[in-house]
Structure 1
Amino acid sequence: MANMVAINKILNIREKEKKDAQHAYQQSMDDFERIATTLYTLLRKKEVAEQAYEDSLQEATQINSIKDQLEYIEMLNKQISNLQQEVQQARTVMETKQSNLTSAHVEVKKYEKIIEFRHNKNEKEEKRLENFMMDEVSIQQFLSYKNR
């Protein structure tokens, strides 16, 4: 029985590790979503800026205005490039955290199965002992009845 207490303690520790892994995964997923949303916003800005640039080429526009638009588009391209790297890093971190969560979940399930197996084993042993005791009582009753 002391063995079951130790396994239950280990299970509690594994469950805490699983909760920590879930929290870390959720945090990494939130970070990824935040960065990806920022990237999406920049891509939309670039799309609008490029459309405005194309429209300005069709019209009579000052060279300085076109130059400013190109510089703005180039700045957006640099920001997008940097954010794409950040998104990739965030994705990698998120996948690592997901892997850790999966491993923690598997560990919890292992200990739950061990506990279930031992519980069933203990129940079978108790049932066997109970049947043995019932047989002994029956034999004693039979012998005492026969001796009368």
Structure 2
Amino acid sequence: MAETITLSKLLHVYENERKDAQRAYHHALAFFEDIATQLYTLLRKKEDAETLYDNSLPITVPLEKIKGQVAYIERLNHQILRLQQQVQHARSDMHSKQLKLTDAHVEVKKYEKIIDTRIKSEKEVEAKREKASMDEISIQQFLSHKNR
């Protein structure tokens, strides 16, 4: 029984670790989604700017406006490259947090299984003890009635 209490305390520690890992994973997931949304928005802006640029080429447009559009597209390209790196970093961070969460979950399940097995074993031992005790009482009663 003392072993089960100790294991229960360990289980509690691992459950807390799992909860911490779960919070960290959800935080990393939210951060990844935020960065990925920013990247998507920039890609859409770039696509719109390139469409506007392509549409303005066949018509007469001042050279300064075309230079401005090209500069804007270049700035978007630099921002996109920076965000792509951040997305990659956020994705790898999210993946590592997911692995930690999975490991913590496995540890919790392992200790839950061990505790369940020990409790079941303790109940079986107690049932055998009770059965042996009942057998002993029955034998004593039989012998006391036989001797009378």
> Partner of 2:84 in structure 1?
84
Amino acid of the structure 1 residue aligned with 2:47: E
Structure 2 unaligned blocks of 5 or more: none
TM-score, length of structure 1 as denominator length: 0.99
Q: 1:2 offset after TM fit, Å?
A: 1.6
Structure 1 unaligned blocks of 5 or more: none
Per-residue CA shift, 1:60-82, capped at 9, x if unaligned? 00111000000000000000000
After TM superposition, the structure 1 = structure 2 runs for residues 1-148 of structure 1, keeping only pairs within 5 Å, are 1-148=1-148
Q: 1:49 offset after TM fit, Å?
A: 0.2
Write the distance in 2 (CA, Å) between the matches of 1:136 and 1:2.
28
Structure 1 stretches of 4+ with a deviation exceeding 2 A read: none
TM-score, length of structure 2 as denominator length: 0.99
Per-residue CA shift, 1:107-138, capped at 9, x if unaligned? 00010001000000000000100110010011
Write the distance in 2 (CA, Å) between the matches of 1:45 and 1:58.
21
Write the distance in 1 (CA, Å) between the matches of 2:62 and 2:86.
37
Aligned residues: 148
Write the distance in 2 (CA, Å) between the matches of 1:102 and 1:69.
48
CA RMSD of aligned residues (A): 0.5
Q: 1:139 offset after TM fit, Å?
A: 0.3
Q: 1:5 offset after TM fit, Å?
A: 1.1
SS where residue 58 of structure 1 aligns? coil
